[in-house]
Structure 1
């Protein structure tokens, strides 16, 4: 196994420290949608950034939308086992306003990747062809998109419209995967800045049960697994009911333990 590098990490793990105690938590992800889950993490981070900017007065969720469509691209490829891409018209039901909206915005988002965000002739042609065909049948996108695009213009989207599009994306995904997998993807797309709070564990002795702080125990020399949070050798420690302290003989250090049951 190659040596870990600080620039790379397991995308489904969160590693933090409580005091000096390293904590590793594993995030849930569907085995067949691992890459999509990682892309959804990017959506959460972009939304967090755009939320902060919106509170300062700028309502622009273009970055979030771009990350959302990156995740959508990843889903289509991963779900189809690389047999399909999000730009193919046969992936959409254009009688469904949500799927029509997704396709139109995918064309616009494609210019962000290849044209610096400016509408080009190809985007204009694909967009207007799909939209005009739908409008003839009385079908409209779920947000107020223009019938015609101006070459050289730049697309932006605000918070309310972005939320509507995100609901469409998850409706599309939800019709193709299990409810449980959809919940996982939804959480990964909206939760960021995860922090661990104080971690207490319960230990039972002959005289009763005590509650201890895991981080304090670690700092005093207890061998604790960073993933399972299990002690390596609890038998070496002893509790003094008079002082309310547990002592680790190998280090001579002690930490408090709260007696909760005799």
Structure 2
């Protein structure tokens, strides 16, 4: 799988959680990430998850309200946040935060698509986004789960220019592409999803051993929601951290045709 370094591609993901210290300990134990705080007071305590070599994997922020659920959110790159949010609103989505400038780092907005899945937009300046992606310990796949495939497909095509591949698996699973490169999936939520779970974006972290990752999650207070499962593309598991944020881990099959992880 590949993520193109072009506008409209995924460029960042961050965790909003009521307990940043606990989250730092958990993800450090599961993925080996370290937490580094942004030094500027204007960053409001925002931190980054980094690999041991210093490359940044994602972000970490305290919840604005104590009752706000912990959650991971992907951001998509744009050369003009304001122009994109105009298309969001014109195509049935909503803008829930921003657009706002963050110091000299960039400009962002948080939106919801017509089925309710939340995502971010990032117009980069000094902060380019991921320091590591499509490599061990970095994010490698971005998946939208929804009960209606046609509405999101049309929406993201209109606002970000994405395309989708033809369904190639039972259940109509499609891949998102930008500039011809796949970076994520569009999954139809079936009866295995509890009815109270809304449409949502799922972020995947690349790992060498899916089973060992799931075991570390459980040992450190997290929950294994979907046990390690083998698919054509590799072996994956869906996990929840102790505060309830859901994410996935993927050990890619090098013969899957989706590229290689470094």
Q: What is the TM-score when the length of structure 1 is the normalising length?
A: 0.24
More strand by share: 2
Q: Which has the larger radius of gyration?
A: 1
Scaled by the length of structure 2, what TM-score is found?
A: 0.24
More helix by share: 1
